Amino acid sequence: MIIAVFPGQGSQTPGFLAPWLELDGARERLQAYSTAADVDLIAAGTEGDADHIRDTKVAQPLIVAASLLSYAALTARAGRPTGVAGHSVGELAALAAAGVLSDTDALRLVGIRGRAMAEAAAVERTGMSAVVGGDEEDVLAALKRLNLTPANHNGAGQIVAAGTLGDLAELAAQAPRGSRVIPLQVAGAFHTGYMAPAVDVLRTAAAGTATSDPSLTLWTNNDGTVVDSGRAAVDRMVAQVASPVRWDLCMASFAEHGVTGIIEFAPAGTLTGLAKRALRGVPTVAVKTPDDLDAAAALLTGESA
């Protein structure tokens, strides 16, 4: 089973979209995505500096657009994978890849999601920090003591804490034994109760959106299970805005389903990095630029690179 995975916010870098514009039809596709998301994705992905593409309103549609562009490029030459999953906002790319949503609806919803989460984040000064290493029970106990939420269980010894900037600073000053605390460049405490207003906005927008049941095996970040209903998958994607991402459970489920390879789509690298540590021996390809499509196609079709 080859699984396509789609990254979340924080994986983007300035100019990363530029090489993708050299593909036939890429500019036209991105222009359509820009209209749907109400963001100039071409300018953001080629000219935007680090601060601009870090802006939640820009970052989220930019990442989903890049993921779907690179996914379309691979499937056009090598066919579709067996299963799909997305980390955080990457779930919208996964829903489109699985046929639950059209690309246009996925970009429309991610534009709304990004704006709503940015508004929710502006209410109070909050943030997120990755806690790498240490004993998991000790880490979770430290977060509870400091009123922080384990917003992302990423597996491979990484938990992302979210909450007020003051509590995160205290966590960094009192890092659990054997761990490192790394502040993340995000606008707020995503996947926590601070994002409840954004859930309401996204739920309203998603309510009238057409869905189909997934045509590929589709995992949810909610609990790492496979979802067979398109409407249920969208509902879980909406609720996930204010609830923890359980990527650790997704990876455990990949193993149970007999994963034989993982392909991560642009802007790639984070999820394949986690997979290399949590799913040792499973081949991975990070599709960062069009130059990586040959290796991804070889893995997908079972050919030697």
- Residue 1 neighbours by CB under 8 Å, 6+ apart: 82, 83, 217, 254, 257, 258, 259, 260, 261
Residue 251 confidence class, pLDDT cut points 50, 70, 90: very high
- Residue range 200-225: average pLDDT? 96
Task: Choose the catalytic residue: 34, 70, 88, 129.
Answer: 88
**3-state secondary structure (DSSP) of residue 186:** coil
pLDDT digits (tens, 9 = 90+) for 149-191: 999 999 888 999 999 999 999 999 999 999 999 998 888 999 9
**3-state secondary structure (DSSP) of residue 86:** strand
Q: Are 44 and 53 in contact (CB under 8 A)?
A: yes
Residue 115 confidence class, pLDDT cut points 50, 70, 90: very high
52 carries an active-site annotation: no
- What dihedral do alpha carbons 233, 236, 237, 240 form, nearest 10°? -160
Question: pLDDT value at position 48?
Answer: 92
Task: Choose the catalytic residue: 34, 87, 191, 243.
Answer: 191
Task: Quote the percentage of the chain above a pLDDT of 70.
Answer: 99
Work out the end-to-end distance of the chain between its first and last CA atoms, rounded to an integer number of angstroms. 18
The DSSP call for residue 268 is -
pLDDT digits (tens, 9 = 90+) for 27-52: 999 999 999 999 999 999 999 999 89
CATH fold label, 2-122+192-301: Malonyl-Coenzyme A Acyl Carrier Protein; domain 2 (3.40.366)
Sheet holding 158-164, edge to edge: 179-183, 126-133, 158-164, 149-155, 245-246
Tokens of 231: 């409407």
Would you say the pTM of this structure is higher than 0.85? Answer: yes
- Residue range 227-242: average pLDDT? 96
Question: pLDDT value at position 36?
Answer: 98
Q: Are 182 and 218 in contact (CB under 8 A)?
A: no
Is there a cis peptide before residue 267, judged by omega within 30 degrees of 0? yes
CA 130 to chain centre: 15
Domain pair 2-122+192-301 / 126-183, same fold:
no
Where along the chain do its domains lie?
Answer: 2-122+192-301, 126-183
- Residue range 53-57: average pLDDT? 91
- Residue 98 neighbours by CB under 8 Å, 6+ apart: 84, 214, 215, 216, 218, 233
Residue 303 confidence class, pLDDT cut points 50, 70, 90: low
Question: pLDDT value at position 305?
Answer: 42
- Name residue 81's amino acid: P
CA 135 to chain centre: 25
- Tell me which CATH code domain 126-183 carries: 3.30.70.250
Evaluate if residue 229 carries a pLDDT over 70: yes
191 carries an active-site annotation: yes
The C-alpha atoms of residue 151 and residue 38 are separated, in whole angstroms, by 28
Strands (E), the chain: 2-6, 83-86, 126-133, 149-155, 158-164, 179-183, 217-218, 245-246, 261-264, 284-286
Strands (E), 81-223: 83-86, 126-133, 149-155, 158-164, 179-183, 217-218
Evaluate if residue 230 carries a pLDDT over 80: yes
- Residue range 252-271: average pLDDT? 96
